[in-house]
């Protein structure tokens, strides 16, 4: 990986990547650093953020650890103040932080239902098994999913706008999901949060264009990350059966999309949704 001194598509720019301790966020932070960015690495886990930042620094990239729960507006405000103090501004924000379940045990219930639904579908008989997930989601689970994904994205965008406006330019990349379009069964709170992020992206794009700030979204399909490791074989089979490209994506395939949207190569893109999803959804 090249350090900042070798230039790159983000040479001289400051980027903040949330949820960068692992998976897609780490892949994005790593790629941005390779293309010359100074990178603020966020994660709810200070240890995970420090691990990513340490790997970047080992390659000559200037990195800052900013541990925070993006669901807390106070923590987000403090995080952006730390970024501004260290780097003197912000050019790129990637809102990637997310969770796969709103409460303990939800993934296990979803896996069990997916196994039962898959067996039912393969039985060749009229459907007898129902998902029955939405009726079991608690208020606390719903609130946590919305807080991390949708509120967290908003809090970060709100804090980024003054820093980017001061510099006269900026690129915000919001991680939504193909579930925002498809409405995935079994995860209504996740699908709703991701759909909200897509609407927020378009609203902010319309508002911030005059400031030189572009806002776009990425709608990934199923990516091979720690967050998707607990998905059951049956659920994976359902995904593979629906995709023309019948595999999970590597985080690097999402990171390359984020790099495009963060760089000047996408200078006329705003309010757009790019979806590396293997063909499970095809839309314009």
Active site residues: 190
User: Could you tell me how far CA 14 lies from the centroid of its own chain?
Assistant: 18
Closest by CA to 36, choosing from 59, 15, 7, is 7
Please give the structure tokens belonging to residue 136.
């079991």
- Residue 80: C-alpha distances to residues 46, 67, 174 (Å): 16, 11, 17
């Amino acid at each position: 990986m090249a350090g900042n001194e070798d230039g790159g598509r983000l040479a001289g720019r400051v980027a903040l990547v949330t949820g960068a301790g692992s998976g897609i966020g780490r892949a994005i932070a790593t790629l941005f650093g390779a293309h010359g960015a100074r990178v603020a690495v966020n994660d709810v886990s200070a240890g995970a953020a420090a691990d990513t930042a340490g790997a970047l620094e080992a390659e000559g990239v200037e990195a800052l650890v900013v541990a925070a729960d993006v669901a807390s507006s106070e923590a987000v405000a403090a995080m952006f103040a730390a970024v501004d103090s260290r780097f003197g501004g912000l050019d790129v924000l990637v809102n990637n932080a997310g969770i796969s379940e709103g409460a303990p045990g939800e993934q296990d219930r979803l896996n069990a239902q997916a196994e039962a639904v898959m067996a039912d579908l393969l039985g060749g008989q009229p459907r007898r098994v129902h998902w029955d997930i939405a009726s079991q989601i608690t208020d606390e689970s719903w609130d946590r999913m919305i807080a991390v994904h949708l509120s967290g994205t908003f809090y970060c965008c709100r804090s980024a706008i003054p820093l980017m406006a001061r510099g006269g330019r900026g690129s915000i990349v919001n991680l939504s999901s193909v579930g925002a379009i498809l409405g995935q069964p079994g995860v209504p709170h996740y699908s709703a949060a991701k759909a909200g992020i897509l609407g927020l992206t378009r609203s902010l794009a319309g508002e911030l264009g005059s400031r030189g700030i572009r806002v776009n979204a990425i709608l990934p399909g199923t990516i091979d990350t720690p967050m998707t490791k607990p998905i059951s074989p049956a659920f994976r089979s359902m995904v593979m059966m629906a995709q023309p490209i019948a595999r999970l994506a590597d985080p690097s395939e999402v990171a390359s999309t984020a790099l495009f949207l963060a760089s000047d190569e996408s200078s006329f893109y705003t309010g757009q949704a790019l979806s590396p999803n293997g063909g499970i959804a095809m839309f314009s």
